[in-house]
Amino acid sequence: MRLIVVFAALWVLVGCSVPALLQKEKPCPGQNEQDQFMSALDQFIKNRQLTALEKFQQRYPSSPLSAHARSLVQYGQLHNQDLGGSQSSNQQPDSELETLRNENQLLNEKIEQLKKLLIELEQRPR
């Protein structure tokens, strides 16, 4: 009788575990989020494209990775603004550049005049 109870218990345990073993392994929750975040991050690193990070942020607003995506987007936008500002500040208008060239020429002429005057003063007898 004890043997029948033990076999019945084993039969129930085996019956419960077999379906669990036959099921395909499901991905962990959030695995798709991680894959998409890594893909967006790769695009940002290789091409400096923010669109994939912005889309990730919109799709998964409650994900902890969304905060990282948000900060990367902000960094990228600031970096782009800095590049735009430095390029425009290096491009002086033609009129300002021409004015500076004229001033430079006048100063060079004054320096030459002062050199000649110094030479004349040194040649004079005391």
44 belongs to a structural domain: yes
Please give the model's pTM, rounded to 2 decimal places: 0.45
16 belongs to a structural domain: no
Quote the number of domains for the chain.
1
98 belongs to a structural domain: no
Residues 11-44: pLDDT tens digits? 666 666 655 555 555 545 567 888 888 888 888 8
81 belongs to a structural domain: yes
User: Which domain does 74 fall in, by range?
Assistant: 31-88
Residues 59-95: pLDDT tens digits? 988 888 888 888 888 888 888 787 766 555 555 578 8
Distance of CA 105 to the CA centre of its chain: 45
pLDDT value at 112 more than 60: yes
117 belongs to a structural domain: no
70 belongs to a structural domain: yes
